[in-house]
């Protein structure tokens, strides 16, 4: 009888170890997915930051050009009359 008890305990231990190994594999897989998603998000944020810098630089260049060469204001000139 004691041999059967030891066999049942061993089977239960192996089953428990298999369950723990399965859970560990799931946790590792989930962590890997999150890490890859975080890397993709960081890359997208870097691209967005670069685009924003480019957009701001273009806006500043446009403002600088406008201060050097002011736009023609329509209100200052009346309509032209041809005689």
Name the band, by pLDDT with cuts 50, 70 and 90, for residue 83: low
| Nearest 10 degrees: Cα torsion 20, 26, 31, 33 | 170
Angle at 20 (CA atoms; ends 16, 24), nearest 5 degrees: 170
Lookup result for tokens 């428990």: 16
pTM above threshold 0.85? no
**Which pLDDT tens digit goes with each residue over 47-75?**
999 999 999 999 888 877 766 555 555 56
Which region among 6-10, 25-29, 63-67 has the lowest average model confidence (pLDDT)?
63-67
């Amino acid at each position: 009888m004691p041999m059967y008890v030891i066999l049942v305990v061993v089977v239960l231990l192996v089953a428990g170890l298999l369950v723990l190994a399965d859970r560990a594999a799931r946790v590792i897989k989930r962590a890997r997915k999150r890490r890859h998603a975080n890397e993709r998000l960081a890359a997208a944020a870097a691209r967005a930051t670069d685009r924003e810098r480019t957009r701001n630089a273009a806006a500043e260049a446009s403002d600088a050009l406008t201060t050097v060469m002011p736009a023609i204001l329509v209100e200052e000139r009346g309509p032209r009359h041809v005689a």
